[in-house]
């Protein structure tokens, strides 16, 4: 199988980092992860030799959410800097690393890009499926919004989320609301509110995006998503929408 040149992978990573949105961003992300599977990546293993026939990778606990992740690197220089002479470095294709570490949460270039890949996403990549794509936005607190139950069919979204959330004990509740900013000619959008602790929000965001991509979700209105923690009170946006899930 042909290997992706290191310079090419770096260029694809730069393109995936760019602040573009929509189809362009999705295409850049897909191109990068496809190339990553056939590129050489680097990971850390202990200095001491493992038992015969066993391969052990080093992991670390993320300070931001307490999750244990297995770091790997798109270039050897980053791997060497992070090892700091306290670990050995192994090289293999991205595909081989994903196969060997099934079930682990991975993080690519933790000191620069910090791209988290959760087990369902790793499986999707190995199966040749695309990951979900999302962009960040922020509504200023000063902007008022009108909220109401969805005026369009959202049955397919309900099914996807119910199937996902029933497996996720970390989700406390979820609401779906149609919102419109109180601005001239403002378009209506759907807003999904997911209630979960901060430690799980990143993973849930990526798994929800993956589920929407895998199931080819199509809606009549654009969909935005936000999170609340369990100790935050539900607001009018929640109460004026419909509750999709609750424990």
- Predicted confidence (pLDDT) per residue in 43-88, tens digit: 999 998 777 777 899 999 999 999 999 999 999 999 999 999 999 9
Compute the mean pLDDT over every residue in the chain, rounded to the nearest whole number. Answer: 90
pLDDT of 3 strictly over 60: no
Domains of the chain listed by start with CATH number: 6-126 (3.40.1350), 145-246 (3.30.300)
- Predicted confidence (pLDDT) per residue in 188-224, tens digit: 999 999 999 999 999 999 999 999 999 999 999 999 9
pLDDT of 117 strictly over 70: yes
pLDDT of 152 strictly over 70: yes
230/3 Cα distance (integer angstroms): 46
* Whole-number pLDDT of residue 1: 46
Judged by phi (left if over 0) then psi (alpha if -120 to 50, else beta), residue 31 lies in alpha
119 confidence band (pLDDT: 50, 70, 90):
very high
């Amino acid at each position: 199988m042909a290997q992706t040149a290191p310079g090419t992978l770096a260029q694809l990573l730069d393109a995936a980092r760019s602040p573009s949105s929509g189809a362009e961003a999705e295409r850049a992300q897909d191109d990068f992860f496809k190339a990553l599977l056939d590129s050489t990546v680097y990971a850390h293993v202990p200095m001491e030799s493992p038992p015969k026939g066993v391969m052990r990778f080093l992991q670390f606990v993320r300070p931001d959410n307490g999750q244990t992740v297995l770091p790997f690197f798109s270039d050897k220089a980053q791997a060497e800097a992070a090892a700091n002479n306290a670990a050995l470095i192994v090289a293999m294709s991205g595909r081989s690393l994903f196969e060997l570490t099934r079930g682990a949460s991975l993080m690519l270039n933790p000191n620069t890009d910090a791209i988290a890949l959760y087990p369902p996403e790793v499986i999707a990549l190995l199966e040749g499926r695309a990951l979900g794509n999302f962009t960040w936005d922020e509504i200023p607190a000063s902007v008022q919004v009108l909220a109401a139950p969805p005026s369009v069919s959202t049955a397919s979204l309900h099914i996807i989320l119910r199937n996902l959330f029933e497996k996720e004990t970390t989700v406390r509740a979820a609401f779906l609301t149609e919102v419109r900013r109180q601005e001239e000619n403002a378009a209506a959008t759907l807003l999904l509110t997911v209630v979960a602790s901060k430690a799980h929000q990143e993973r849930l965001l990526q798994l929800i995006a993956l589920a929407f991509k895998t199931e080819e979700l199509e809606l009549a209105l654009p969909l935005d998503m936000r999170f609340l923690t369990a100790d935050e009170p539900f607001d009018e946006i929640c109460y004026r929408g419909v509750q999709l899930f609750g424990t």
